[in-house]
Amino acid sequence: MSTIKQSQLATRLAQAGNRSDTTTGAISVPIYQTASFVHPGLGQSTGFDYSRTSNPTRLALEETLASADSGHRGFAFASGLAAIDAVLRLFSPGDKLVVTEDLYGGTYRLFEKIYRPLGIDALYVDTSYIRAVEEALALPGVKGILLESPTNPLLKIADIRVIAALARGRGILTIVDNTFLTPVLQRPIEQGADLVVYSATKYLAGHNDVVAGAVVTATPALSERIAFLQNAAGGILGPQDAWLTLRGLKTLTLRVARQQENATALAAWLDHHPRVRRVYYPGLSSHPNRNILLREKSGWGAMIAFEVEDPARIPEILSKVKIFLFAESLGGVESLITYPYLQTHADIEEATRQRLGINDRLLRLSVGIEAIEDLQGDLENVL
Ligand X SMILES: Cc1ncc(COP(=O)(O)O)c(C=O)c1O
Instruction: Return the C-alpha torsion angle 257, 260, 266, 270, nearest 10.
Output: -170
Query: Would you say 282 and 290 are in contact if contact means Cβ atoms under 8 Å apart?
Result: yes
Whether 177 sits among the annotated catalytic residues: the reply is yes
Return the number of the residue (191 or 201) whose C-beta is nearest ligand X: 201
Q: Which of 32, 37, 91, 104 binds ligand X (CB under 6 A)?
A: 104
SS3 state at 124: strand
Angle (nearest 5°) at CA 154 between 125 and 369: 140
Query: Are residues 235 and 341 in contact, defined by beta-carbon separation less than 8 angstroms?
Result: no
Q: Which of 177, 194, 241, 378 is catalytic?
A: 177
Cβ–Cβ under 8 Å, residues 97 and 177: no
Per CB under 6 A, the list member of 64, 70, 127, 179 interacting with ligand X is: 179
Of 58, 73, 96, 202, catalytic: 202
Tell me which stretch binds ligand X (CB under 6 A): 7-15, 53-61, 74-82, 247-255. 74-82
Residue 100 three-state SS:
strand
Backbone phi, psi, residue 249, to 5°: -60, -30
Q: Is 321 helix (H, G, I), strand (E, B) or coil?
A: coil
Contact present, 76 and 200 (Cβ < 8 Å) = yes
C-beta of 329: minimal distance to ligand X in Å?
A: 6
Query: Which member of 211, 266, 308, 348 binds ligand X (CB under 6 A)?
Result: 211
Contact pick of 148, 194, 241, 378 for ligand X (by CB under 6 A) = 148
**Which 152-171 positions form the footprint of ligand X (CB under 6 A)?**
152
> Site for ligand X (CB under 6 A): which residue of 55, 127, 199, 335?
199
- Residues that contact ligand X, how many (by CB under 6 A): 14
The DSSP bridge partners found for residue 362 are 307
Helix, strand, or coil here: 114? helix
Q: Looking only at residues 357 through 376 of this chain, which bind ligand X when binding is defined by CB under 6 A?
A: none
Q: Which stretch binds ligand X (CB under 6 A): 7-15, 53-61, 75-83, 186-194?
A: 75-83
199 vs 208, which CB is nearer to ligand X?
Answer: 199
Clarify whether 104 is annotated catalytic. Answer: yes
> Is 205 within 8 Å of 27 (Cβ atoms)?
no
Shortest distance (Å) from residue 328 CB to ligand X: 7
User: Shortest Cβ distance from residue 166 to ligand X (Å)?
Assistant: 23
Catalytic residue among 52, 109, 168, 278: 52
**Cα–Cα distance for residue pair 242/256, rounded to 1 Å:** 20
Binding of residue 81 to ligand X (CB under 6 A)? yes
Q: Which of 69, 102, 177, 194 binds ligand X (CB under 6 A)?
A: 177
Cβ distance to ligand X smaller for residue 37 or 180? 180
Output the smallest distance, CB 107 to ligand X, in A. 6
Among 80, 144, 192, 239, binds ligand X (CB under 6 A): 80
Cβ count within 10 A of residue 135: 12
366 touches 331 (CB < 8 A): yes
3-class secondary structure, 196:
strand
CB of 41 to ligand X, least distance (A): 40
Letter string b/e over residues 36-73, b meaning 16 or more CB atoms within 10 A of that residue's CB: ebeeeeeeeeeebeebbebbbbbbbbbbbbbbbbbbbb
Nearer to ligand X, 12 or 89 (CB): 89
Report, as residue numbers or ranges, the catalytic residues. Answer: 52, 104, 177, 202
Binding site for ligand X (CB under 6 A): 79-81, 104, 106-107, 148, 152, 177, 179, 199, 201, 211, 213
